[in-house]
Amino acid sequence: MMSLEELVNVGNTIKNGVTYVPPESGIWRTYSVYKLEDRVAYSTWKNQAIIYIQTILKDEGAMRRFEEQGNLFEKHYYKPAYLDNMLGILNAYLQAGFEGTSQSEVKNERSLNKVFVVHGHAEPVNQEVARSIEKLGLEAIVLREQPNSGKTIIEKFEEYAKDVNFAVILLTADDKIEGTESFRARQNVVFEMGYFMGALGRDHVMCLVQENVETPGDIDGVVYTNIDKNGIWKYSLVKELKTCGYDVDANKVL
């Protein structure tokens, strides 16, 4: 996870990549249009900042304002004023010398009995992974199996995600890539993968990938484990869980 100072610096770099797009000759418009040089970098930065505000600064009000300004920035053709407001929220904490709770302290507050399972539409794989986690004596947090309690999907995700210390990401063949024989995982799976890597660190996230599934190209340094027919991935899962402090026995998933 980036530090507060790094978030501000990256945000300023993104701001420098916003340029005004003049109207074409003879065309009158009542609004300004801007071009964002690197949308992937902006999206990654925005998600990292939201995670930082929520888990390190622990300021729900600031997180909601940051998200609102981000939505307005995207809606109003990348108008720089909204990006300035997003940076202003981060800068206010930076200038105050506030560092917040460290990432390791946040992880220490999380449960060592729960594992979040991020999944797509490959139901047999989803069930096998969730039930294997339960055989290890742990609680598999599968979002759709949890009560809604009047919450939106995002609120429900945040509620259950904040208490886990490890996440398993299932990159399964959900969407076929046009013109190829390959598939990709659903976009919500990729988003939640980035969320947990920011909130927990890469060492607390395991990515399981099906055959012929394209892995995300904009997330560097990620190790992917194949979902093999012999179930060797289960032993890899146990190894990763043990490394993260979970008390598990590989014999239980034989």
What CATH number is associated with residue 178? Answer: 3.40.50.10140
Picking from 95, 126, 143, the residue at the C-terminal end of a domain is 95
Judged against a pLDDT cut of 60, whether residue 105 lies above it is answered with no
Q: What are phi and psi of 219, to 5 degrees?
A: -120, 105
| Residues 240 and 115 reside in one and the same domain | yes
| Residues 81 and 32 reside in one and the same domain | yes
Picking from 61, 95, 129, the residue at the C-terminal end of a domain is 95
Token digits for 52? 């930082």
**3-class DSSP string for 216-245:** CCCCCCCCEEECCCCCHHHHHHHHHHHHCC
Token digits for 9? 């610096």
| Residues 208 and 121 reside in one and the same domain | yes
Distances (CA, A) of 226 to 58, 104, 127, 164, 181: 36, 29, 17, 23, 18
The DSSP H or E segment spanning 19 is strand 18-21
The fraction of the chain above a pLDDT of 70, given in percent, is 93
| Residues 85 and 146 reside in one and the same domain | no
pLDDT at 104: 54
Token digits for 111? 């449960």
CA dist., res. 183 & res. 168, Å (int): 19
Q: Is residue 100 part of a domain?
A: no
| Residues 119 and 169 reside in one and the same domain | yes
In angstroms, how far is CA 91 from the centroid of its own chain?
23
- Are the beta carbons of 206 and 222 closer than 8 angstroms? no
Q: pTM higher than 0.75 for the full model?
A: no
| Residues 85 and 112 reside in one and the same domain | no
Hey, CA dihedral for 198, 2, 95, 88, is it positive or negative?
negative
Confidence category of residue 58, pLDDT binned at 50, 70, 90: confident
Domain that holds residue 54: 4-95
pLDDT at 99: 60
| Residues 24 and 148 reside in one and the same domain | no
Instruction: Flag the least confident range among 33-42, 193-202, 236-245.
Output: 193-202
| Residues 126 and 238 reside in one and the same domain | yes
**3-class DSSP string for 108-167:** HCCECCEEEEECCCCHHHHHHHHHHHHHCCCEEEEHHHCCCCCCCHHHHHHHHHCCECCE
Picking from 95, 128, 163, the residue at the C-terminal end of a domain is 95
| Residues 64 and 121 reside in one and the same domain | no
pLDDT at 159: 86
Judged against a pLDDT cut of 70, whether residue 182 lies above it is answered with yes
Q: Is residue 135 part of a domain?
A: yes
167 pairs with which residues across the strands?
A: 116, 205
Token digits for 2? 């980036």
pLDDT at 138: 96
Token digits for 69? 């300004």
Give me the number of domains the chain comprises. Answer: 2
| Residues 53 and 177 reside in one and the same domain | no
| Residues 57 and 136 reside in one and the same domain | no
Supply the mean pLDDT for the chain. 87
| Residues 111 and 34 reside in one and the same domain | no
Judged against a pLDDT cut of 60, whether residue 193 lies above it is answered with yes
CA dist., res. 70 & res. 7, Å (int): 14
Higher pLDDT pick, 52 / 254: 52
